[in-house]
Structure 1
Amino acid sequence: MSPSPAVALDKGTTVWLTGLSGAGKSTVACTIAEAVRTSVEVDVLDGDELRKTISAELGFSADDRHRHGVRVGYVAELLSRHRVLTLVPVIAPYTRTREAVRAHHERQGTPFVEVHVSTPLTECARRDPKGLYARADAGEIRGLTGVDDTYEPPASPDLRVDTTTVTAQQAAESVLTLLRHRGLLSTLHTPVGG
């Protein structure tokens, strides 16, 4: 894939990609980052890495998952406020968490875009990149989001993409198109993957 040299970030923005484990959130986020990296400041906030650092003391209870999401949202807003395109591929399974993050962005006047990577559970389990679904099936772990713990899909996200019907490049282009339409990113002259 060739990065597009014609992108300009008009305002720092947080793009929150929510969805089940294995849905393709990180792949889409990294595809977006690769497409714009030569032209704009961009960062991908990896949920697993952040759990090891800013949320190292948290577990996976509902309250801890909420706290982790809010912390990630705070970091994302801080980066975005400083003209960074901040891509956040974090499950954030609860509506209240995503609403709290959006509200914080609104209070700061920082754009927030919610993308639901809506790949079905059956496909996520088939992909199983971290082996979590196999471990849950074997009874080795409990509380896996979407299996025996809650995932509340966004009722009205800014964008919904299903990576069983589109490629990562097509999903990334959909996100970039949305950002252009909202006046947050300049017009791309070269499509993602072009």
Structure 2
Amino acid sequence: MATNITWHENLTHAERKGLTKQSGLTIWLTGLSASGKSTVACALEQFLLQHGINAYRLDGDNVRFGLNNDLGFSEADRNENIRRIAEVSKLFADSTTIAITSFISPYIADREKARVLHEKAGLPFVEVYVDVPIEVAEQRDPKGLYKKAREGIIKEFTGISAPYEAPKKPEIHLKNYESTVEESAQQIIAYLVEKKYITL
């Protein structure tokens, strides 16, 4: 870590909230590939923006085209991927934007580090477990990744040759094989309203 750097104070989060009239937070969607994380995240982002609430979606695939294009899928690279996203989502939340992340983020320890990072900054962190059985995810398999993993073409694939550690106590548990996309998004919205993170 560089030593010749200095943190520059600016507006506090409270001051930003007063100016933007909005609270920032991070909504962290986690689940298997093909669980529907990105689809729910898109629906949620669109709903919030349509209601005048500033939100931005950080998607696992999209981020690897830019910020994280130097990372592979080893355990160390997955850890670094999530560490960077935690830092970026914290910056969005501090700016009073609602950051919506949709990442497999398979390890409990990495998600907990993201939570602690937000809590230390006084920013809400809402973990959403987008839950589908592995059989359902494989049936969906829109990218053909499970098939390639079963054939050994893709190594270190979550749920097949690499572990997925499900959240033990997520703020929201979406059974995304029993609900529509709209119902799942509305479940998150209802939670945000209940906690007074947003007003509709």
The answer as to 2:182 corresponding to 1:181 is no
Deviates more, 1:92-101 or 1:36-45: 36-45
| TM-score, structure 1 normalization | 0.89
How many Å separate the matches in 2 of 1:130 and 1:103?
33
- Measured against aligned partners, the alpha-carbon deviations of 1:32-67 in whole angstroms (never above 9, x if no partner) come to 111121311111101112122222221111111011
Query: SS where residue 87 of structure 1 aligns?
Result: strand
Partner of residue 75, structure 2: 62
Residues 9 and 48 from structure 1, CA distance in 2 versus in 1: closer, same or farther, beyond 3 angstroms? Answer: farther
Partner of residue 77, structure 1: 90
Partner of residue 43, structure 2: 31
Partner of residue 154, structure 1: 167
The offset of 1:9, in angstroms, is 7.4
In structure 1, stretches of 5+ residues that fail to align are 1-7, 189-194
The answer as to 2:157 corresponding to 1:115 is no
Structure having the higher Rg: 2
- Measured against aligned partners, the alpha-carbon deviations of 1:104-133 in whole angstroms (never above 9, x if no partner) come to 000111111000001111101100011100
The one of 38, 50, 53 equivalent to 2:63 is: 50
The one of 144, 166, 170 equivalent to 2:157 is: 144
Residues 185 and 61 from structure 1, CA distance in 2 versus in 1: closer, same or farther, beyond 3 angstroms? Answer: same
- Measured against aligned partners, the alpha-carbon deviations of 1:137-156 in whole angstroms (never above 9, x if no partner) come to 22211111011101000011
| Identity, % of aligned positions | 36
Amino acid at match of 2:135: T
Partner of residue 191, structure 1: none
The one of 154, 170, 185 equivalent to 1:172 is: 185
**Count of aligned pairs between the two proteins:** 180
Is contact 1:9–1:184 with CA below 8 Å preserved after alignment? Answer: no
Is contact 1:30–1:44 with CA below 8 Å preserved after alignment? Answer: yes
In structure 2, stretches of 5+ residues that fail to align are 1-19
Displacement over 3 Å in runs of 4+: none
How many Å separate the matches in 1 of 2:118 and 2:40?
22
| TM-score, structure 2 normalization | 0.87
The one of 70, 86, 102 equivalent to 2:99 is: 86
How many Å separate the matches in 2 of 1:112 and 1:139?
36
Is contact 2:27–2:126 with CA below 8 Å preserved after alignment? Answer: yes
The answer as to 2:20 corresponding to 1:14 is no
Query: SS where residue 52 of structure 1 aligns?
Result: coil
